[in-house]
């Protein structure tokens, strides 16, 4: 079992940056694929980015490529989401998630709000 706690959300102006953090407790952090998802009001939760267990390979939704960067520090049991060039459409609650088996994200944080003003 894994407990996830996100932090770093807030209010920023368009074009600004934020760095989200997700701290994991429980089983060995490095065993998990870690992902970030987001959900805006009235919309479905969508995939943002993920980082693999071993080599740190990454994948991104097209909407954030070139602007967002995911990274992990296994020694700190932490995954990060660096968000640059933020747009109003990036506004959402951002969730950290962990998958032990493939992309079966079974563990989720409570979310952190990101609001980007025009």
Structural contact between residues 1 and 107, judged by C-beta atoms closer than 8 angstroms: yes
List, in sequence order, every residue forming a beta bridge with 73; answer none if it has no partner.
78
Instruction: Measure the CA–CA gap between 88 and 90, rounded to whole angstroms.
Output: 5
Who contacts 24 (Cβ-Cβ below 8 Å, separation ≥6)? 2, 3, 4, 32, 34, 77, 78, 79, 98
Q: What is the pLDDT of residue 36?
A: 98
Kindly report, residue by residue over 39-53, the tens digit of the pLDDT.
999 999 999 999 998
Q: What is the pLDDT of residue 29?
A: 81
Q: What is the pLDDT of residue 1?
A: 78
Q: Is residue 30's pLDDT more than 90?
A: no
Instruction: Measure the CA–CA gap between 99 and 85, rounded to whole angstroms.
Output: 28
* Block residue for tokens 């970030």: 36
Q: Is residue 26's pLDDT more than 90?
A: no
Q: What is the pLDDT of residue 88?
A: 98
Q: What is the pLDDT of residue 102?
A: 87
> Of 117 and 2, which is predicted with more confidence?
117
Kindly report, residue by residue over 70-113, the tens digit of the pLDDT.
999 988 999 999 999 999 999 999 999 999 888 999 999 999 99
């Amino acid at each position: 079992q894994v407990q996830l706690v996100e932090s770093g959300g807030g209010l920023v102006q368009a074009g600004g940056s934020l760095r989200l953090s997700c701290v994991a407790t429980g089983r060995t952090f490095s065993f998990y694929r870690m992902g970030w998802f987001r959900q805006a009001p009235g919309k479905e939760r969508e995939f943002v980015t993920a980082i693999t267990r071993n080599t740190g390979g990454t994948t991104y939704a097209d909407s954030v490529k070139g602007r967002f960067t995911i990274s992990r520090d296994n020694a700190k049991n932490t995954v990060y989401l660096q968000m640059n060039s933020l747009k109003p459409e990036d506004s959402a609650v951002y969730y950290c998630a962990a998958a032990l088996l493939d992309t079966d994200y079974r563990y989720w944080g409570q979310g952190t709000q990101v609001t980007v003003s025009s």
